[in-house]
A = this chain, B = another copy of it.
Amino acid sequence: MSIPQRIERALEAAIAGCEARGGPPRLGAAMRHAVFPGGARVRPQLCLAVAAACGDDVPPLADAAAAAIELLHCASLVHDDLPCFDDAPMRRGLPSVHARYGERIAVLAGDGLIVLAFDLLAAAADAPVPGTGTGTARTAAACRRLPALLRVLAARVGVPFGIVAGQAWECEDWVALPDYQRAKTGSLFAAAAEMGALAAGGQPSRWREFGEHLGEAYQVADDIRDVAADAQWLGKPVGRDHKLGRPNAVAEMGMTAALAHFDALLQRSAEAVPAGPGATGLRALLHAEAERLLPPALVGRCRAPQARSAA
């Protein structure tokens, strides 16, 4: 089964459990709307790519880690889109969750997705692994790895340094742009890389730097798109950072410097990939991301990491 298939299957099973008979139907529908159809699923792909590079010896645990990260990403989007934050009417070309289901259900859908993410990891450690013939040994490995997986996830999502804290920096009078970007976006990319390693019994510290640089690059690209893309290509309104008074790398350093910064962050991310069987695949993922993240007219102004490492 391909990595995208594994991700969608894990997410589908998780959301289906929230739509069980006897629960509030609009809340289940809102949680589904928050998760499907997905965006690029770049964080769970990163997680499973790192797990593969580390041997991926307990695939259900890696799948749970990948899905948990995506659920938390979706939860943050639902809450960020709320009227009190970005008041975003659209997300991924469709009405945002609060636009379709109302603000109250959107708050609760975000809450439910956060809880579900932690439940997925616990379920992977609690349940026997079907069809492996080594279910017990693998479940024992999942149990041993569970506390560290949970702690990394909580640290990269929660307070004081995770994505929730990153969003809160928008409510403070002053924040350094790198601190804000590291918390708001870098931290969940770091979690994706670290948790991919942990789920497969690898060393998370080797992968954290890789994920963090990639996440910061992703945030800079987001800032560039907010200034330079058109709304139809992007599937959501542009110019939001300026309108909402949020920090933006292009506003702070100019477009040329922002593109160079994006390029440097991708390069640092590529250099942080530990040597091993998965290194080539991960660098290819970075190359593809660089092309996907920028508005088409700007791709030529950025040297992708493969090109530079070949230079």
Contact = CB atoms under 8 A, between A and B. Distances in A.
Interface of A: 17-20, 22-28, 31, 75, 79, 82, 84-85, 102-105, 107-108, 110-112, 114-116, 118-119, 121-123, 125-126, 143-144, 146-148, 150-151, 154-155, 157-162, 164-165, 167-172, 175, 179
B150 A23 contact: no
Contacts of A115: 114, 154, 157-159, 162, 164
Given A160-B18, A161-B23, A171-B102, A107 B119 contact: no
Nearest to A103: B84
B125 A147 contact: yes
B114 A85 contact: no
Those 6 A-B pairs whose CB atoms lie nearest each other, nearest first: A23-B160, A119-B154, A122-B150, A115-B158, A126-B147, A27-B168
Given A155-B119, A171-B104, A172-B25, A19 B144 contact: no
A118 B171 contact: no
A111 B108 contact: no
Interface centre among A102, A104, A143 (most CB of B within 10 A): A104
Given A105-B171, A115-B162, A159-B116, A144 B143 contact: yes
A122 B84 CA distance: 32
Contacts of A175: 24
A160 B26 CA distance: 11
Contacts of A28: 159-160
A299 to B, nearest CB: 34
A12 to B, nearest CB: 15
Given A24-B165, A26-B168, A102-B171, 19 more contacts: A19-B160, A22-B179, A23-B160, A23-B161, A27-B159, A27-B164, A27-B168, A28-B159, A28-B160, A85-B107, A105-B171, A112-B159, A114-B114, A119-B158, A121-B150, A122-B150, A122-B151, A125-B147, A146-B147
